[in-house]
Structure 1
């Protein structure tokens, strides 16, 4: 993925990792469009970034995605990158069906639907990138958030398969794999001393994205405790430690 001169859509761009990535890509000379459910949050981000654009989108709303994609392409015909970052993480007591279905719709079906809607356009570009966002919990699940972890494991698997399917096309697929980061994804995360400060996470992630060629998976050092647990033969031990509190 080239570092500058792109036209990039970032879903979930009104806060947290999405807003921080939007800032960095904008500063690097890219046209950035952020999308999210809350117009007020989007407005707050673009107010500090002249030239950045915003469009509302609820990733859980399947019917809204095709029209959103059409409007996006019409307004930004140079679109050549999309960061599928929007997601929700909610603690569940055993099986909470309403939470589970909303999480699957937002975290998994939403990215698949949006990628499906944008892929024909991206394939026409000389070079384009789909960046998915999974999680270290895709590799070792947190029992308190089972559906979140399941969706992120599915995003990881889907990213691998999509990359293989598109290997002879102009579209590259890059998977970003965050650890616990100090954001408002869940209550208490922003103050969690064991989570990686957002600025540190973004700096390390952007450095990896600037490598040539771009790695197919972006693993900062902090996430490797989870993402490489199976390779080290420590999956059961890490799962037990992660879920012992």
Structure 2
């Protein structure tokens, strides 16, 4: 797909991977409408020429407000990038159940609700795409992040089924599976991290090339290991 002239709705576009995706798509001629929760970050992106919409995607009302704010404009590409990393480790103490609920909604329910609302207008476009950003941890989980892993695995399987449903439409369904990326969300993670810029570059390339799946960085290696020995892949990731 040639992204020049396409209108993109990008959730979580004011920081991290999303911010880099926004810049790269804009440089290629796309019109990017991005969402976020931090007013200062949204203001910064607005001054750079992006259209921004404040959106809290941790609940249904926030998703519905975003859809209402879009009005009836045409959308060519929906990128579900927003996500929450929930601290849910019983080895450290009792987890916050409300935080888990918010994370489950933001990571899984919100993309599903947004897709449900926008598929009719995406169908009307001659070329369209839905990009769901999951994670290498959707393949094999890390012990310290069970809620995050569960939601990303859920979104992965939703994406696989959605792709089959929309196979005969103009909408291409793409899954992007990043490794650990150098963002604020991973500030406390000691593992080697990919730059947000490079991760975004590979996601944009997957859109342009019409790929169904983008296994990014170390996720490619994990996918190979998982295809040969799933239990080994789990043993590797569960240590983290």
1:167 & 1:63 partners in 2: Cα distance?
A: 30
1:3 & 1:125 partners in 2: Cα distance?
A: 13
Task: Give the match for residue 68 of structure 2.
Answer: 70
Structure 1 residue 42: Cα displacement: 1.3
Question: CA separation of 1:11/1:241 partners in 2, compared to 1, >3 Å: closer, same or farther?
Answer: same
Task: Give the match for residue 30 of structure 2.
Answer: 30
Task: Give the match for residue 99 of structure 2.
Answer: 99
Task: Give the match for residue 239 of structure 1.
Answer: 234
Structure 1 residue 20: Cα displacement: 0.6
1:140 & 1:193 partners in 2: Cα distance?
A: 16
Render the CA deviation track for 1:166-191: whole Å, top value 9, x for unaligned: 111121111111111111113324xx
Are residue 162 (structure 1) and residue 162 (structure 2) matched?
A: yes
In structure 1, the residue corresponding to 2:52 is in which secondary structure?
strand
The two structures have a TM-score, normalised by structure 2, of: 0.91
Query: Map of 1:174-185 to 2, 5 A cutoff?
Result: 174-185=174-185
Task: Give the match for residue 116 of structure 2.
Answer: 116
1:166 & 1:208 partners in 2: Cα distance?
A: 18
Unaligned 5+ residue runs, structure 2? none
Structure 1 residue 36: Cα displacement: 1.2
Query: Map of 1:211-230 to 2, 5 A cutoff?
Result: 211=209, 214-230=210-226
Task: Give the match for residue 89 of structure 1.
Answer: 85
In structure 1, the residue corresponding to 2:9 is in which secondary structure?
strand
1:172 & 1:210 partners in 2: Cα distance?
A: 11
1:70 & 1:41 partners in 2: Cα distance?
A: 22
Query: Map of 1:197-208 to 2, 5 A cutoff?
Result: 197-208=195-206
Unaligned 5+ residue runs, structure 1? none
Question: CA separation of 1:218/1:73 partners in 2, compared to 1, >3 Å: closer, same or farther?
Answer: farther
- The question of whether the paired residues in 2 share the 8 Å contact of 1:140 and 1:227 is answered with no
Alpha-carbon RMSD:
1.8
Aligned with 1:59 (options 57, 60, 69): 57
In structure 1, the residue corresponding to 2:53 is in which secondary structure?
strand
1:230 & 1:193 partners in 2: Cα distance?
A: 20
Structure 1 residue 193: Cα displacement: 5.7
1:6 & 1:165 partners in 2: Cα distance?
A: 23
Aligned residues: 236
1:126 & 1:162 partners in 2: Cα distance?
A: 19
2:31 & 2:6 partners in 1: Cα distance?
A: 6
Structure 1 residue 25: Cα displacement: 0.4
Question: CA separation of 1:230/1:26 partners in 2, compared to 1, >3 Å: closer, same or farther?
Answer: same
- The question of whether the paired residues in 1 share the 8 Å contact of 2:35 and 2:54 is answered with yes
Render the CA deviation track for 1:66-118: whole Å, top value 9, x for unaligned: 232132143xx232111000001122123732232111111000111111111
1:204 & 1:22 partners in 2: Cα distance?
A: 13
